[in-house]
Structure 1
Amino acid sequence: MNTTPDTMPTTAPAPTIWPGLQANDAPALIDFLVGTVGFLRTAVYEDGDRVAHAQLDWPEGGGVMLGSYDPSAPEGTCGTPGTAGAYVVTDRVDELYERLVAAGVRVTTEIEDKPYGSREFGILDPEGNRWSFGTYRGEPRPGAAS
């Protein structure tokens, strides 16, 4: 457990996987993901006019990390802008779909019930990254207690 400067206890999030991506216009992508999609702006570290690192949390768990594209960065650091894809689990898939459609977001896959039990849809963000949102939380791990 950590403490904040005002001594209120905080707990680190449970370990999870965080997609990382780079953006040509990181501030605009952050604004889209926070203001339109519903991520939480947890941390944004700037280096001049660049975003060195941003952490955007998904309210229902997990999140994404991103920064400004740097073509001189070592290969393998992050993909080029517009090449990422992520699946985001949400219990409010219909509400989110309606809100994003009303906001004029480009839908790539209409909302539908899938044969594996999920209800989901897909969008493109302003950089061209593919995002899928759905109710599928994955299958239980072999040998996991139910």
Structure 2
Amino acid sequence: MESQQRSPSIWPALQAHDAPALIDFLVGTVGFLRTAVYEDGNRVAHAQLDWPEGGGIMLGSYKPDSAEWCLRPGTFGAYVVTDHVDSLYERLKAAGVKVIREIEDQPYGSREFAIADPEGNKWSFGTYRGEPRPAD
């Protein structure tokens, strides 16, 4: 099976106190795909979770002694585009996920809601795909 090559893109990254549990939540509850998880003992050195509709995130275990790259858990926020905002909202609410902004239509044309994950990170899900890029 051939692997698909990706175009260069931006990968939001975060760290977690309990990275395996956060991965389980984001995959099993929210719906990300577990693409790669590399462990170093009982820590997650690197994980890639893809969003089924495009894009993805990278995460790992919190390393406060790592001066070159340290991100305090619970300080991350992301906007995730989905065409299935209503069904995702209902599924997450039924699963007992903490909803921090109820679903509603926005004046700029998006329908969206927001949750907090078990580490305290904030995730907004909506239909807004951004404005078209200006022509060169």
The verdict on a shared fold, with TM-score over 0.5 as the criterion, is yes
Distance in 2 separating the partners of 1:121 and 1:108: 8
Contact 1:22 1:67 in 2 (8 A): yes
| Paired position in structure 2 for 1:130 | 122
Distance in 1 separating the partners of 2:104 and 2:8: 30
Aligned residues: 136
Q: Which runs of 4+ in 1 moved over 2 A?
A: 13-16
Per-residue deviation at 1:14? 3.2
Aligned mate of 1:64, from 57, 70, 81: 57
Distance in 2 separating the partners of 1:43 and 1:102: 28
Per-residue deviation at 1:15? 2.9
**Aligned residue type for 1:47:** D
Contact 1:46 1:53 in 2 (8 A): yes
1:1-146 equivalent positions in 2, closer than 5 A: 8-75=1-68, 77-143=69-135
Distance in 1 separating the partners of 2:109 and 2:26: 26
Distance in 2 separating the partners of 1:92 and 1:14: 25
Contact 1:69 1:81 in 2 (8 A): yes
Contact 1:20 1:78 in 2 (8 A): no
Contact 2:63 2:70 in 1 (8 A): no
Contact 1:36 1:103 in 2 (8 A): yes
| SS of residue matched to 2:86 | helix
Q: Scaled by the length of structure 2, what TM-score is found?
A: 0.96
| Paired position in structure 2 for 1:3 | none
| SS of residue matched to 1:66 | strand
Q: Deviations over 1:117-144 (max 9, x none)?
A: 1000000000000000000000001117
Contact 2:64 2:70 in 1 (8 A): no
Per-residue deviation at 1:12? 1.5
Q: Deviations over 1:23-59 (max 9, x none)?
A: 0000000000000000000000000000000000000
Let me know the Cα RMSD of the aligned residues: 1.1
**Aligned residue type for 1:108:** I
Contiguous gaps of at least 5 residues in structure 1: 1-7
**Aligned residue type for 1:137:** R
**Aligned residue type for 1:73:** S
**Aligned residue type for 1:96:** L
Distance in 2 separating the partners of 1:109 and 1:66: 24
